[in-house]
Amino acid sequence: MLWFVDYLWYFRYYSTDPRQPGAVADSVQNNTLTEAQGSVSVPNLHGDNFDEYTLGYERLLGAGTRLTVRGLYRHLRSAYLVGYDFSRTPYFAMGTPGQGTFDFLPAPRRDYTALEIAAEGAWCGVRYRASYVLSRTWGNYTGLYSSDFTFNQVNVGQNSALMGPEQAPNSSGLLPNDRTHVVKVSAAYTFRFGLEGGASLTAGSGSPINEFGTSTDYSTSIFLVPRGSAGRTPALWDLSLRLAYALHLGRGPSGRLVLDVLHVGNPRRATWVDETLYWDPDKTSANPQYKKPLAYQAPMAARVGVEITF
């Protein structure tokens, strides 16, 4: 992680083409950090941890089906982040937002609430499992993996949407992995002559979209409207099939021939869109690609393989 090693980091701003010989920067912002600056002692610091409460009910329906109903609530207790406020000295902070030298940001919050209804069992030789989840993920902190796609980047170990004081307004709301409805169904059947067929279907609501602008120092993205309130990506569905045929290899190893058909129907819907509306603090440079897709579901594919078990 860059915060724990010596590294040079400069922002140079030019009013002319910086590639021209003799070009001189109009201003230079030095964000260089040494290991000594980053190696600080933070009192009462705790890594990411949470409380989880679960209440469930199970029962058999007939002889072959198990019904499960489960409620779940998960609440973030503490988190470890990196941030900076250039109006302060020192400007760099490490620890938990809302505490000590990190008081220029609100405390991190992440609440997950869900209701799951599931059934699994067998019917006429078909083994199956089906589930439906109704959930809500709300807060201002996505976790150790920053999935906000600020400036269309993803980061591990650095939450880039909760670093600077300008990010505090509108920072609480629906988090990126909030998918209100998710349905999963899988089933498999084995024929007497050794052929096994299976299918897996997943469908879910789209994920929340943000409306990002740019901070006055160009260092971070900021929330122009409450987090996750600028719409949603398309709802997704994905269907995959498998055929497997047992191979009789005599004594010793066993095996089977496998055919997988993935992403049947080739839905190719958008999974990620550009969430930056303005590239400048004055909101004069609008991004024409705002809400345009940046990534799609994987295309339809097939694979054939042989599995050998010793």
- So what's the pLDDT on residue 69? 98
User: How close are the terminal C-alpha atoms of the chain, in Å?
Assistant: 42
- The average pLDDT across 61-72 equals 92
What pLDDT is attached to residue 52?
97
Q: How far apart are CA 11 and CA 91, in angstroms?
A: 16
Between residues 146 and 211, the one the model is more confident about = 211
The total domain count for the chain is 2
pLDDT-wise least confident of 121-135, 152-166, 175-189, 239-253: 152-166
Q: What per-residue confidence (pLDDT) applies to 118?
A: 97
Q: Domain span at residue 106?
A: 40-309
Are residues 122 and 8 part of one domain? no
Same domain, 11 and 69: no
Q: Are residues 147 and 244 in the same domain?
A: yes
Q: Write the pLDDT tens digit of every residue in 255-264.
A: 889 999 999 9
Do 51 and 149 belong to one domain?
yes
Do 200 and 154 belong to one domain?
A: yes
Cα 74 from Cα 53, distance rounded (Å):
6
Mean pLDDT of 67-74: 97
User: pLDDT at residue 117 above 80?
Assistant: yes
Residue 103: phi and psi, rounded to 5, are -80, 0
Residue 84 shares a structural domain with residue 224: yes
Query: Whole-number mean pLDDT of the chain?
Result: 89
Token pair listed for 302: 């097939």
> Which range, of 121-130, 152-161, 173-182, averages the lowest pLDDT?
152-161
Same domain, 31 and 118: no
pLDDT tens digits for range 231-254: 999 999 999 999 999 887 777 788
**pLDDT score, position 40:** 61
Q: Determine if the peptide bond prior to 90 is cis (ω within 30°).
A: yes
Tell me what pLDDT residue 173 has.
96
pLDDT in tens, 6-64: 778 888 999 999 999 989 999 998 878 777 766 666 666 777 889 999 999 999 988 88
What's the pLDDT score for residue 107? 92
Residue with tokens 């207790």: 77
Same domain, 25 and 51: no
Using pLDDT thresholds of 50, 70 and 90, give the confidence band for residue 138. Answer: very high
pLDDT-above-90 percentage for the chain: 62
Say how far residue 214 (Cα) sits from the centre of its chain: 22
Question: What is the three-class DSSP state of 35?
Answer: helix
Between 197 and 1, whose confidence is greater?
A: 197
The pLDDT value given to residue 307: 87
Q: Where are the alpha helices (DSSP H) in the chain?
A: 35-38
For residues 14 and 67, membership in a common domain is answered with no
- HSE, CB side, 13 Å, CA atoms: give it for residue 273: 23
- Give the pair of three-digit tokens for residue 15: 């009013």
State residue 38's pLDDT score: 60
The pLDDT value given to residue 1:
54
| Residues 64 and 188 reside in one and the same domain | yes
| Beta strands in 124-267, from DSSP E residues, in sequence order | 126-139, 145-146, 155-156, 173-174, 181-190, 195-204, 212-214, 221-223, 236-247, 254-262
**Greater pLDDT, 273 or 249:** 273
Judge if 63 and 194 occupy the same domain.
Answer: yes
Mean of pLDDT values over 67-91: 89
Among 77-86, 133-142, 233-242, 283-292, whose mean pLDDT is lowest?
A: 77-86
Task: Quote the DSSP letter at residue 112.
Answer: E
Q: What is the Rg, in whole angstroms, of the alpha carbon atoms belonging to the chain?
A: 25
Instruction: Identify whether residues 22 and 63 lie together within a single domain.
Output: no
Q: How far apart are CA 102 and CA 305, in angstroms?
A: 54
User: Cα–Cα–Cα angle for 147, 148, 151, nearest 5°?
Assistant: 115
Decide which of 1 and 124 is more confident: 124
Query: pLDDT category, 162, cuts 50, 70, 90?
Result: confident
pLDDT digits (tens, 9 = 90+) for 98-111: 888 888 999 999 99
Cβ–Cβ under 8 Å, residues 215 and 235: no
Query: What pLDDT band is residue 94 in, cutting at 50, 70 and 90?
Result: confident
